[in-house]
Structure 1
Amino acid sequence: MPAADRYQQIVVAAMREFARTGYSGTTTAHIASTIGVSQPYVMRLVRTKRDLFLAAFDHACQTMEDLLRDAVGDLGAAASAEARLDALRAAGYHGVLADRDLMGMMLHAFAAAGADEQVRDVVRVRYERLFATVAEVTGGSPAQVRDLMAVGLLWQVIAVLGAAGPSAEREWATPIPW
């Protein structure tokens, strides 16, 4: 397998493992073993565990950005901001919440940002880009974008808890504020 393809495979595996056991609880040796390569090989492709964590976080953010863009892709140029926000809400519920690894990666990145300044800087910039993407694809007001992102964080938490989303409903989580 070409190194670029193997690198992508490692990043996807890393996202899954970091989502489940966090930055501190995940080793590069474990990530390597999940895809059948050696830990030194992983380290040749990524310099440090932090670099791999940030690559996995970037992959998660890119996945979310792609979902956001796809959600409004079929709407015509004349679609209102509210129609675009509704499309994001529906896509979030049916796509993002179903992916607990994606949600877990996001939450673990926020947690790691509290303890590591380099991680914090990258997470801050990347999260700002998610805000900008929501504003761009919806044309929503700053308040509408903020509200969507705030409820999105709530969705992330309840998705990781298995309390809401297409495959798991809990009565206390059903009145999602949309």
Structure 2
Amino acid sequence: MSPEENQRLTAEDRREQILAAASVVFGERGYAGGTTDAIAKQAGVSQAYVVRMFGGKENLFREAAQRASARVREAFRVTIASFTGEETLHEKRLALSMSYVGLMADRGLLMTLLHLFSLGHDPALGPLARSCFLEVYRVTRDEAQMDAQDATDFFARGMLTTVLLAMRMTDIPDDPSAQELMACTFGDRTTDLISLMQGQQPIDSTLR
């Protein structure tokens, strides 16, 4: 029995541990730069264990991307479940946006999704990118009861949010233009968001 298998974690717990590590590595290095070796080191397990569990890098990236997309859907559904039916469209958008921003403070999830979307040309991963995006769109449109135009407008603002977080616009809070842009995008959550993003640590230099 390997050291990984001998530790007191269920197979599902170990799987989640590796997928979380994959999000960190793929998030910073992208699909091309991420390796099963770096992911294994980040997870604290052997590379052989990672390969045995996931079967290779492509499948591991696929599952990490699906996990990230599922986390967004779950966050939206939790928020939607709290709706009373009396909310205005603006209030629905604001509540969903806040749940998204809170989730995307996990930079690994944020960047894994962006890397997935950039692979739209890839024969294997392109269909997954489109499927993941449309699944979240349908949750927003149907379960939050928005029409197509309202859902599209929500996603347009959401993509601006995603890009600002990805480029770490929060790193220059003293720049007047950056401050203005973030205030218009994030509103009262700007200060909290800056604190969240500044607490993020880059991947360990030994894994680069």
The residue number in structure 1 matching 2:198 is: none
Matches within 5 A, 1:9-28: 9-28=17-36
Runs of 4+ in 1 over 3 A off after TM superposition: 77-82
Unaligned residue ranges in structure 2 (runs of 5+): 1-8, 188-208
The residue number in structure 2 matching 1:176 is: 185
Is 2:10 the counterpart of 1:2? Answer: yes
The residue number in structure 2 matching 1:47 is: 55
Secondary structure of 2:168's counterpart equals coil
How far residue 168 of structure 1 moved from its aligned partner, in angstroms, is: 6.7
The residue number in structure 2 matching 1:150 is: 156
Unaligned residue ranges in structure 1 (runs of 5+): none
8 A contact 1:82–1:140 mirrored in 2: no
1:163 to 169, 174, 187: 169
Secondary structure of 1:79's counterpart equals coil
- After TM superposition, the score normalised by the length of structure 2 is 0.76
The residue number in structure 2 matching 1:106 is: 113
Q: In the alignment, residue 88 of structure 1 is paired with which amino acid?
A: L
8 A contact 1:11–1:52 mirrored in 2: yes
How far residue 10 of structure 1 moved from its aligned partner, in angstroms, is: 0.8
Matches within 5 A, 1:84-95: 84-93=92-101, 95=102
8 A contact 1:163–1:173 mirrored in 2: no
Matched residues in 1 for 2:115 and 2:180: separation?
24
Count of aligned pairs: 174
Q: What is the CA RMSD across the aligned residues, in angstroms?
A: 2.1
The residue number in structure 1 matching 2:83 is: 75
C-alpha deviations, 1:14-34, integer Å up to 9, x for none? Answer: 011111110011100010011
Higher relative contact order (CA 8 A, sep 6+): 1
Residue identity (%): 26
Is 2:123 the counterpart of 1:117? Answer: yes
Give the structure with higher Rg (CA): 2
How far residue 137 of structure 1 moved from its aligned partner, in angstroms, is: 2.7
How far residue 4 of structure 1 moved from its aligned partner, in angstroms, is: 2.5
